Structure 1
Amino acid sequence: MPSRRSEVDSADGKLWTYFETTPVMSTNILGFVIADYDYVSNLDGTMKIWGPRHLLPYATHPLDIAEKATRELERFTNSTVHVPKMDHVSIPHYVSRATENWGMIAYVEYSSATPDDLWKALQDALDESDVPHDDFKVKEVMDTWFKQAAYPVVTINRDYDTGEIKATQQKRVQFSESNDSEGNDAWWIPLNYMTQSNPNSSSTLATHWLKPQNESVTIEGVNINDWIIVNKQLTGKYRRDISCFLILNTGYYRVNYDITNWKRIAAFLNSDDYDKIPILNRAQIIDDVYYMIAIKQLDFIISFEIINYLSREIDPIPWYPAFRIIQRFEDYLWMPQVAAIFKPYFFNLTHKLFEHIGFDEHPDDDPATIEIRSDFNRIACLYNTHPHILDKCRAKAIAKLLAYIEEPNKIFPNQKVICFGLIQANESIWNQFLQRGNETARSHLMFLGCSENLDIVEKHLNSFEENDRYNYLFRNMLENLPNVDTAIDFFIKKFDEIDQADKFILRLIIMSIGEDQIEKIKAFAEQRGLDISKHLADRIENLSKLNDNLSKIRSALENIQFSVAMHITLNNDTSQANKIEV
C-alpha cells in the first residue's frame, strides 16, 4: 500500500513509515522488498520502477509502457487493480516463478541480445536465400523505425492529365502546437496499394519501397478513373479483436491523398459497394481522416463525407477509431450548443449499428462487438443521444453500482458509469457506497461531485479528513459528468474554506460554457477583488471560436454542401427511434 506519512523518532533516530490500510488478501499475495534501491515514478506516484541507481536512467521507457499497459488492461477488463499503487522491482538472481503480489511485480535482471544481433541474423538468412533483394540491408531499414521518433505520413498525389502517381513521405510530424518533431528524419517505407478496379488485398507484400534518399517513388499502371488506397490491410480470416487492424497492415504509417482521390474514396464508401474496400482499410481511412484534419491537411467537409459512410457500417471494427475520435471531443459534448448538433448527428450515424448490436450483451458476442457496444452505450447514455433507451441506461448503471456495493473486491465499474448511477442516488445508497470505500481502502471522495444534491455533497465532504478534498470534489464535478453550475455555486459558498482557491476558479473558467456562468464568476471575482479578467477574456474568445466552427458545421450539414449523397441530417426522427429493437 502507499505510504501515508513518515517521521523520525527523536529518541533513537529511527525512520517510521506509516502505510495505508492493506485490504484483506491471501498471504501468498503479500510481498515486500528490502534493498538499497532508488526509483523513478509517474506523475501521481501510483507507479514506480525500483532498481539499482545506475540502471534507473534506462527505466523511463519501461515506466511509460507499464503505465499504458495498465490503463489498457483496466479498460479491456473493465476493472481496476485492488490496490492504488504498483511497484515494479528489478531483482538479481530472482528464482520465483510467480510474482502475483498485489501492488508489486518482481523481475529478474538479465543480459539480452541487442537489436543488431537480430538484424544480422535476418540479413544472413536473406543473403542465403533466393529472394531478390538488391541493396536491401535489414539493419539500415529497421534503424529508421527503431531509432527515430514519431512515424511518417505518406502523401499520394496524382497528375490527372498524365495519370502519374507519386508517393512522398512527410519528414515532419506535428503532434500539437507545443510539441513538434522537425528534422531530416526519413524512413524505409514499404508501399502497396489497391484500386477501384482491383480491390484485392490478399497479399500485403510491398510492391514499392519509398527510401530515405528518394524524393518520391512513382506508381504506374493505375486506371486514371480509379481511386487508389495505399497500405493494404490483410483480408480473409482474422481475429475478431479490436487490436487486429493495428497488426495486420503493411506498414506503420498514415496516408494522405489529393482531394480528388479523397472524394472518390468518399463516393465509393457511400455506395452499396462500400464493403469491397476491406474492413481493416475502412478502419484505417477513418483514423487517417481525423489525423489529417487535426494537422490541417484536410477540409472538414471531406471528412464528413467520409464519416457519413458509417451510417451504413454494422461491423464493429471501423467503429473503433470512430469512437476514439469521439472520445477526444467529450469535453465539449456537454455544451448545449455542441449537443444540439452532436446528438441528432450521432443518433442517425449509429442507427444501423445499434439495430445490429443492440443494447444488451449476448453470449456469442465477439470481443470487438463487446467493446463497441460498450462505447456506444456509454456515449448514448451519458449524453442522452437515444432518449428511448435512457431508462435502460439508468437501470444498468444503478445495477452496476449496486453490484459493486455488494461485492466491492469483485468488480469496479468505469468511473463515469459509477458517476451516472450516483447522479440521483438517495442518501441510503450514498451511505453504502462510501462505507464500501472505507472498507476497501479506496477513497470515494472523488465521486461526491456526481451528486446533484448539494446537501449530500456537503454532509459527506465534511466527513473526509483529506487536505485536498476540494481538489477531488471539483475535479469530479468538472470531469466525470460536468456539472458546472453546481460547481460554481458550491465554490462561491465554500470559497473561504478552500485552500488555493485561485487554482479552482481558473478551472471553473475553463469549463464554463455559457454567458451566465461567465458573468456569475466575474461578479464574484469583482466582489472579492480577484483579478481574473485575462482568463475570462481568453475563455470568451475560445467560446467565440468554438461557436463559429459549430455554425460552419451546422450550415454544411443543413445545406447539404457535399459531393456525395449524405444519409445523415440534424433531424431526429423519433418514429424511427421507436422502431429500434434493443
Structure 2
Amino acid sequence: MGYLGFSILLLGLVHLSHQINYRLPNGSIPHHYKLSFIPHLIPDNFTFDGESEIFLRVHKTTRNLTLHSLNLEIHEESTMIVGDEEIIIPHRHIFEKEREFFILNLRNDLLPGDYKLLLKFSGILNNASRGFFWDSYLNDDNETTYLVATQFETTHARQAFPCWDEPALKATFEISIKHFPNYTALSNMPVDKKLIGTESDGKLWTKFKTTPLMSTYLVCFTVSDFQNITNLEGNFSLWARKNVLNSMKFAYDVALKAFPVLEDYTNIPYILPKMDIIAIPGHDNGAMENWGLIVAKESDISRQAMFDESFLRIQKYMVHEVSHQWFGNLISVAWWNDIWLTEGLASYFHFYLGAKVNNFPRMTDLFIINKNKVFEKDDDPLSLPPFREVNSAIETRQLLNTVHDKASTIMKMLSGLLSEEVFQSGIKKLLKKYKFRSITTDNFWETMQETLNESSENNFKIKKMLEPYISQQGFPLINVIRNYTSGVIKLTQECLMCKKNNLPESKWWIPINFATTSSPDFSSTLATHWMNPEDEFVIEGVDPNDWIIINIKSSAYYRVNYDEENWKKIGHYLNSENFSNIDILNRAQILQDGFWLFKQEKLDKELLIYLTSYLTREVDYIPWSTGDDIIQHLVENTDITEDSKIFILAIVGNLVDDAGLEESPNDDLFTVWKRFIGIYWSCYVSKRFCSHLRW
C-alpha cells in the first residue's frame, strides 16, 4: 500500500472510532473488588477460573449495568446483584464486541444505592504478554516450567475479570490465587494468609491484603517457582528464575536506591508496605509499573558486565517504574489522553533522578540526545502529538507506545522555564493535592501555574505557552536573520515538516533566551522574552561582531537556523581555544541543528564540516554523540578519500588520547562511550587500535 493510501486508511480508522462512544456510562461506580483466581497450567489447555464480588454504587436509575469484559466466558447462572433487601437476577447478559462492553440487562429499574455484583467466569491464559498470560522456561533438568503473570495496561484487565476498566474508576482490590505449594503467588499487596484448599488437588490459596484505591490497569498477580533477592526487612524483593538471579543484582540495587531518592524529592513516603519486582523470560512489554509489583522482561534488567549497553537500559527501566509508584499509581490519569503526564514525569525522572541514584550528575545531559530522537520522530508526518483525543482500546495502546520521549522532553522544557526548584515544588503540590485521585492535563497546568505564581520567578501563562507543544504535530524551526549594519536581529518561526507534507502550519509560543560572544552567560534557562505564534521577534543591542546563540542549554523544544555569517562566527569561535565558553549542551545543539539543516539542504556541506572540525578540541561525549552520527553519514554517503581519512583521524585523535585505549575501573559511562567512538573510527580509516574495540 502506498504512503497516501496508508494515511487515508489510518485517518479513516481514527474517524470511525470517534463516531463510536467507547466510554462507560457514568451511572455506576465500583469501590471494591473481591477477586479469586485459579490458573490451570496444563499444556495445550491453559485456562483459568475466576469469581468476583464487586461492591458498587448506582447513581442513576437504570435497567442496564454496564462494565467491561473481553474473551471471558461468564457463567450466567451464577450472576446476581445483591441489594439491601433483594437479590436481582439479570434478564439478559449482553456482550458488545466492538466496545468490549458487558451489559447486564434487568427486567426492572435498578434504583440508586449500594449493591454487590456476584460473577463467576473463566478464560484462556494467552501467551501474548497481555491480560492474564502464561510463560515458560527450561529448568536445570531441561524440563519446561510454567508460570503465569498479568499485564493490564491499558485495557487488558477486562481480559482477566469483568470490571469498570477505565483509569479514573479507582477501587480497592482484595485478591486470592490458588496454586501448588511449591509455587509462589505475588500480587500488589503482601500476603494476608495462606489456606489449604478443600479439594484434593494439593493446592493452597494465597490471600493478599486489600490494596489502596487504584486503577484496574495497575492490578497484578503472578504465580511462579522463582527465587528472590531480598532486603533484611523482607519488604523489597526481586524474583527471577534461579539461573539468572545473579545478573539481576544491579537492577535490584538501582530500584532499591531509587525509593529514598523519590521519597526525598516528593516529600511523600512510598505508600505500600512492600515492593516486588519479577523478571518474566518471555515478557514483551519492557516493564510495567503495577503498584507494589513491577513486572519486567528478564533480558531488559539482566546485566553481564560493568559497563555494557545494559547499564543505561536497566537504570532507565528501574528508575522509570519506581517513579511511576508516585506518578501514575499514587496519582493516575483521568483518561488515556492525559497519559503523557505520568509517562512524561516518569521518563523525565529516569534521567533526572537516575543521576542521583547512580551518583552520576551528568546523566541529565542525555536529555539532549533524547530530544534529538524526538525531533527525528516529529519530522514524520504520521507522528501524532502526545496529547490528543483517544477513544477506542487500540487508540489508547497506540498512544501509550509513543508518548514517552516527547512527553519527557516537554517536562524538561517546563523544568527549565520554571527552574528546577519551582518545578519540584509544583510536583510536590500536585501529589499532595491529588493523592489517590485522578488528574487531567488541565489539573497539571493549574497546579504548576499556582506554584509559579507563588514563586519569585519570571511569570508566564503555562498552559497557553506549553500546550501547543504537546497538542500539535511537528516542531518549530527558528530562523535567525541579522542585519550587521543596523544590529537588528529578526527571528521567525516555521514548521518545516508541515510545509513539506502540505499539513496545516503548526505555530508555537517560543521562549527566547540567548548568549553572545561579549556575554557568554549560559547559566539560566528562564525565558527572557516570548515570541508569539503569529509575529516575528526582534532582538537589538547585540554587537555585530558577536555571535549569538539562541536557546540556552538547548532547554526548549525547537531547532535554530542562523544566517551564514552567524554560523561562521560560531564555527570560528568553536575552532578557537575559547570553545568551552559555549555551554556543552549548546555545543551539542549546534552540531545537531547543523547536521539536521544539512540533511534538509539548508546548510552547506562545507559549513557543516567547518563546524564539525572543532571536534579536534572536544573530548566530551555529549557533542561527540552527534559528531559520530555526522561522520557515519559522510562515510555512508560520500567517497572516502585520503583527505577524508586525514580529517577523521584528526578529529578523533584527541578523543582517543583523552579516553585512553584500555578500560579502567574508574571509567564513567561517557568515558566508555567516547573511547569506543575514538577507537572505532581510528580502526575504520587506518586499522589502528582495532584490537582494543569492545563491542
**TM-score in terms of structure 1 length:** 0.48
Question: Which of the two has greater strand per residue?
Answer: 2
TM-score by length of 2: 0.41
Which protein is richer in helix relative to its size? 1
